[in-house]
Structure 1
Amino acid sequence: MAKSQLDQIKSHLKSGRTISPLEALGLYGVFRLAARIKELRDKGWPITTDNRTDPNGKKYAVYFLEDKGTHGLPDFALPEWAQRGDVA
């Protein structure tokens, strides 16, 4: 069974890589990356946006997982998403 676009983007981000709209289109056929990122954020994923400008002056966004860090907290003190292991 093929992975959904959301699952592909989650795996990509969990691997520690960034993703841009052009990469999402080329790698996974995702035309609306910002919409998929919003869905992940709505589920509690700590995704950060880095706004960039290409050499021609065109603006675009690059997304990555924010490193929240657990600061040595015991499992019961971690946020729910971290306890489930949703974000690496």
Structure 2
Amino acid sequence: MSATDHTPTHDPSSQCARLLKHLKKHRRITNRQLISMGIFRGSARIKDLRDEGWIIVTNRVHRGLFEFVLVGLRDED
């Protein structure tokens, strides 16, 4: 299954849905961008997406700034 075929289980207006939409379009987001989107517990939303099977890598850019990169969707074998 490809990342574009995966249907999320959350409400389209939820923070997870907005975050996933952004990641699919731009492939990356920083913790500061998350805050500007009104997502104040970004790490928790990233964990929710990971629990759904999305592969998201976290990179520390510098002190206090992290970048989350969407790699894809884990295969369900």
Whether TM exceeds 0.5 here: the answer is yes
Number of the residue aligned with 1:79: 75
Unaligned regions of 5+ residues in structure 2, if any?
1-11
Q: CA deviation at 1:67?
A: 5.1
Q: CA deviation at 1:20?
A: 1.1
> What secondary structure, in the 3-state scheme, does the structure 2 residue paired with 1:46 have?
strand
The equivalent position to 1:8 in structure 2, one of 18, 29, 39, is 18
Unaligned regions of 5+ residues in structure 1, if any?
69-77, 81-88
Residues matched between the structures, number: 66
Find the structure with the greater CA-based Rg.
1
Q: Does 1:29 align with 2:38?
A: yes
Q: CA deviation at 1:39?
A: 0.6
Structure 1's 44 and 67: CA in aligned 2 closer, same or farther, altered over 3 A?
Answer: closer
Q: Does 1:19 align with 2:29?
A: yes
2 CA distance for matches of 1:67 and 1:6? 15
Q: Which runs of 4+ in 1 moved over 2 A?
A: none
Report the identity percentage: 35
Number of the residue aligned with 1:61: 66
Number of the residue aligned with 2:52: 43
Tell me which protein shows more strand as a share of its residues: 2
Task: Please give the TM-score of this superposition, normalised by the length of structure 2.
Answer: 0.72
The higher relative CO (CA closer than 8 Å, separation ≥ 6) is in: 2
Structure 1's 17 and 79: CA in aligned 2 closer, same or farther, altered over 3 A?
Answer: closer
Aligned CA RMSD, in angstroms, stands at 2.3
Tell me which protein shows more helix as a share of its residues: 1
